[in-house]
């Protein structure tokens, strides 16, 4: 039986990052390549990620690592330019800070409801918070329909802070001030992106590791947490610590635990599409679509980020976990919608691929948070830890995943003789 100190499940950014901070490790990955959902497809001259992955570092050490591991000419730096299409008008993001750009009647409604909103000291759920902080019109014109398209669930089932630091809050002073002096800065106001796609960063981390300690095409089948033994498609492994980075609902199954519906998420269909000519709006990086007449909620422009001469986009469509996805039907609706909004004019599609991310955006609720706390406390007794976006079942960035891995590795080193 193989023995290892740290058995890591999943070779995405969280698992590979944790491995890079320790010595005696083994990474299990059921796919034929590393990267998880942060992989890149190159085809017919197009560069497509599994979905839009852009890097905006708040940790200086991690930013330095990102910059220094790649040739400077391979890193693109962009000041984000994003818009919302609302009633055939492009509005700056975030919507709540730019209501003055709306048609007069919509602006008056938003401003009136913002002033007379009914705030509370505490809110019961995400939807109630939106109404309380932004009023009826801002909520119902953008915040509610957009997030319902994204999460594919009722917003009253989500916890108040379901999006954490990623939600662009603004009070009435911010909103009024923005009418005269524009200030749409956000956590990702400036982003970095590798010319060869987001997977470049993953491959840099992978290159620092021992490939013999990363088992591809190897699936974790079950775990005996009492005996610290993992059963895989390549045999039994004895471990001291088990580090999980795969989706928590899947991990619960191999651990013999049932979450009884406490862990829910949406799934997202991503179309990467390449066309024969340049984007009509060459400065835009991505666009938001709150109106439900369009099946997609966001469209991003790779060609505008990579400065290419043919339009290359990703299109994201949200579904509930129970919904069946008809790829051909959704592609037809997508192309029709892209034509209606003017993204596609006389463009001819050259190539496309589709990816289903499942899970994509987890539903952070009071139920899930309570369940996770009990589960993680129990797992810790058996030296089992779960990290990363899906391992922790939370909303976070790629950077957060790396920082999570680093923090756990440092904690382990402090408690062991490594």
187 lies in some domain: no
In a domain, 21, yes or no: yes
Residue 98 maps to which CATH number? 1.10.3110
Question: Are 105 and 238 contained in the same domain?
Answer: no
CATH number at residue 300: 3.30.70
Q: What local confidence, expressed as pLDDT, does residue 61 receive?
A: 86
Q: Length of the chain, please? A: 418
Q: Average the pLDDT over 152-170 and give the result.
A: 91
Does 256 lie in the same domain as 275? Answer: no
Residue range(s) defining the domain that contains residue 298: 266-357
70 within some domain: no
Mean pLDDT, residues 52-57 taken together: 84
- CB atoms under 10 Å from CB of 280, counted, come to 13
Q: Are residues 286 and 339 in the same domain?
A: yes
- Chain segment 315-371, per-residue pLDDT in tens: 999 999 999 999 999 999 999 999 999 999 999 999 999 999 999 999 999 999 999
Q: Which of 341, 357, 373 is the last residue before a domain boundary? A: 357
| pLDDT at residue 262 greater than cutoff 80 | yes
Q: Is residue 375 part of a domain?
A: yes
303 and 233 in a common domain? no
If pLDDT is split at 50, 70 and 90, which confidence band does 228 have?
A: very high
Domain's final residue, options 130, 146, 178: 178
Q: Which of 325, 357, 389 is the last residue of a domain?
A: 357
**Band of residue 185 on the pLDDT scale cut at 50, 70, 90:** low
Q: Distance (Å, rounded) from C-alpha 3 to C-alpha 6?
A: 9
Report the domain count for the chain. 3
- 64 within a domain of the structure (yes/no): no
How far, in Å, CA of 399 to CA of 387, rounded?
A: 13
> Which CATH number does the domain housing residue 404 bear?
3.50.50.60
Residue 141: name the closest of 85, 81, 186, 83 by CA: 85
Whether residue 232 is predicted with pLDDT greater than 90 in this model: the reply is yes
**Co-location of 26 and 149 in the same domain:** no
If asked whether residues 277 and 235 sit together in one domain, one would say: no
Would 140 be classed as within a structural domain? Answer: yes
* 144 and 129 within one domain: yes
What pLDDT, on a 0 to 100 scale, did the predictor assign at position 184?
Answer: 63
What is the rounded average pLDDT for all residues in the chain?
94
Is residue 101 located within the same domain as residue 119? yes
Both 246 and 378 in one domain: the answer is yes
- DSSP string spanning 302-371? HHHHHT-SS-EEEEEEEEETT----HHHHHHHHHHHHHHTTS-SS--EEEEEEEEESS-SB---HHHHHH
Same domain, 152 and 171: yes
Q: What is the mean pLDDT of residues 206-220?
A: 97
Same domain, 145 and 108: yes
- Alpha-carbon span 25 to 212, nearest angstrom: 10
Q: Is 61 contained in some domain?
A: no
Distance in angstroms (rounded) separating the CA atoms of residues 321 and 303:
31
Residue 38 domain-assigned (yes or no): yes
228 and 270 fall within a common domain: no
pTM, full prediction = 0.94
């Amino acid at each position: 039986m193989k023995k290892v100190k740290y058995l890591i499940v999943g070779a995405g950014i969280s698992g590979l990052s944790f491995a890079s901070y320790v010595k005696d490790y083994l990474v299990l990955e059921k796919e034929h390549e590393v990267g998880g959902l942060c992989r890149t497809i190159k085809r017919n001259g197009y560069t497509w990620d599994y979905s839009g992955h852009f890097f905006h570092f708040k940790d200086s050490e991690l930013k330095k690592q990102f910059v220094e591991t790649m040739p400077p000419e391979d890193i693109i730096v962009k000041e984000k330019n994003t818009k919302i299409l609302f009633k055939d008008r492009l509005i700056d993001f975030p919507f709540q800070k730019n209501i003055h750009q709306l048609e007069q009647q919509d602006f008056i409604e938003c401003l009136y409801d913002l002033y007379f909103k009914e705030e509370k000291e505490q809110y019961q759920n995400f939807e109630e918070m939106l109404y309380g902080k932004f009023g009826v019109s801002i909520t119902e014109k953008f915040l509610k329909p957009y997030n319902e398209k994204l999460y594919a669930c009722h917003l009253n089932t989500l916890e108040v802070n379901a999006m954490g630091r990623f939600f662009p809050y603004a009070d009435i002073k911010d909103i009024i001030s923005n009418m005269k002096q524009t200030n749409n800065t956000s956590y990702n106001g400036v982003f970095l992106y590798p010319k060869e796609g987001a997977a470049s960063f993953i491959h840099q981390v992978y290159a620092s590791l021992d490939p013999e300690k990363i088992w591809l095409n190897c699936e974790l089948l079950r775990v005996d947490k009492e005996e610290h033994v993992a059963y895989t498609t390549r045999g039994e492994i004895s471990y001291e610590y088990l580090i999980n980075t795969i989706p928590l609902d899947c991990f619960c199954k191999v651990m013999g635990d049932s979450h009884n519906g406490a862990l829910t998420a949406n799934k997202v269909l991503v179309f990467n599409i390449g066309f024969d000519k340049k984007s009509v709006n060459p400065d835009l990086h991505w666009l938001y679509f709150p109106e439900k007449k369009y099946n997609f909620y966001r469209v991003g422009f790779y060609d505008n980020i990579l400065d290419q001469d043919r339009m290359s986009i990703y299109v994201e469509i949200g579904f509930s976990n129970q919904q069946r996805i008809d790829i051909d039907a959704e592609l037809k609706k997508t192309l029709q919608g892209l034509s209606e909004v003017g993204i596609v004019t006389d463009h001819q599609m050259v190539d496309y691929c589709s990816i289903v991310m499942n899970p994509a955006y987890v539903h952070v609720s009071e139920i899930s948070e309570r369940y996770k706390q009990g589960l993680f406390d129990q797992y810790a007794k058996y030296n089992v830890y779960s990290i990363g976006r899906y391992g922790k079942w939370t909303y976070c960035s790629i950077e957060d995943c790396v920082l999570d891995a680093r923090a756990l590795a440092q904690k382990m080193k402090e408690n062991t003789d490594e």
